[in-house]
């Protein structure tokens, strides 16, 4: 076994006087899938943004892929795939154009674009502007972008939000293949316990910024 993908010790994060994360301590081994459950406002998305290097912790230590955050965030950002609440896509561009732009940033072969578009069921709409796509379709394109560069850590915030049941049946097995074939560690935020248990190596439950439950 190599070094853990994620190590948190006493992590805390505030927004003004409001504490969003309190004393969060956990370890995610190589190849594991940690699912984070909890109600709205529990701190799930804040935790993901800290792991992605988008928010600085106010307490504790954060170590990602062997690097200390935030000081060494520059060394891990390109190794992380992030699907956040905001899809981070250019609305005037097509899905294919968005992925081509992302591929060039990460020096990814362009033929990979067709592979990930097919995996999330977006081949037929790949050349329509993102602005005319439904919320569920945009979410699927954002998921394709998150995995396009074969990241070493995958952070997924409600990846199946607004995605219909038929497409969920396609995307979840794809994420399972990413996990099983590439041994990519995943942190998967959701409020759906059934969704969680399909992928998880471990489940934690957040409430008011604290870990209040664990399940392996």
Residue range(s) defining the domain that contains residue 165: 6-215
Q: What is the mean pLDDT of the chain?
A: 90
Q: How many domains does the chain have?
A: 1
Q: What is the model's pLDDT at position 162?
A: 67
Q: Is residue 152 part of a domain?
A: yes
User: Of 92-96, 113-117, 212-216, where does the model show the most confidence?
Assistant: 92-96
Residues 12, 57 contacting (CB under 8 angstroms): yes
Token readout for 81 is: 């795939």
Element (H, E) at 45: helix 44-51
Token readout for 118 is: 């097919």
Report how far residue 79's alpha carbon sits from residue 106's, in angstroms, rounded to the nearest whole number.
Answer: 9
Q: What is the CATH number for 62?
A: 3.40.50.300
Q: Is residue 48 part of a domain?
A: yes
Query: Among positive and negative, which fits the CA dihedral 119, 133, 98, 175?
Result: negative
> Residues 83-99: what's their mean pLDDT?
93
Provide the 10 A C-beta neighbour count for residue 216: 6
Can you give the C-alpha Rg of the chain in angstroms? 17
Report how far residue 108's alpha carbon sits from residue 34's, in angstroms, rounded to the nearest whole number.
Answer: 27
| pLDDT above 60: residue 1 | no
Q: Is residue 109 part of a domain?
A: yes
Q: Is residue 1 part of a domain?
A: no
Q: What SS3 state is found at 100?
A: helix
Closest C-alpha to 131, from 163, 105, 98, 85: 98
> Rounded to two decimals, what is the model's pTM?
0.90
Q: What is the model's pLDDT at position 192?
A: 79
DSSP conformation class of 79: G
């Amino acid at each position: 076994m190599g070094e853990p993908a994620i190590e948190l010790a006493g992590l805390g994060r505030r927004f003004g006087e409001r504490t969003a994360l309190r004393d969060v301590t956990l370890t995610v081994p190589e190849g594991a899938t940690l699912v984070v459950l909890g109600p709205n406002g529990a701190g799930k998305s804040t935790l993901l943004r800290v792991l992605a290097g988008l928010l600085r912790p106010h307490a504790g230590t954060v170590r990602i892929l062997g690097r200390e955050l935030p000081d060494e965030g520059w060394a891990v950002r390109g190794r992380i795939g992030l699907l956040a609440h905001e899809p981070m896509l250019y609305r005037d561009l097509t899905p294919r154009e968005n992925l081509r732009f992302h591929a060039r940033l990460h020096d990814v072969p362009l033929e990979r674009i067709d592979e990930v578009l097919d995996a999330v069921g977006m081949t037929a709409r790949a050349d329509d502007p993102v602005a005319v796509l439904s919320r569920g379709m945009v979410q699927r394109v954002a998921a394709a972008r998150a995995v396009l560069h074969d990241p070493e850590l995958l952070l997924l915030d409600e990846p199946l939000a607004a995605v219909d049941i038929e497409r969920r049946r396609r995307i979840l097995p794809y994420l399972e293949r990413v996990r099983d074939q590439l041994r990519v560690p995943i942190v998967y935020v959701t409020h759906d316990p059934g969704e969680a248990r399909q992928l998880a190596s471990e489940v934690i439950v957040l409430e008011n910024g604290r870990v209040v439950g664990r399940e392996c």
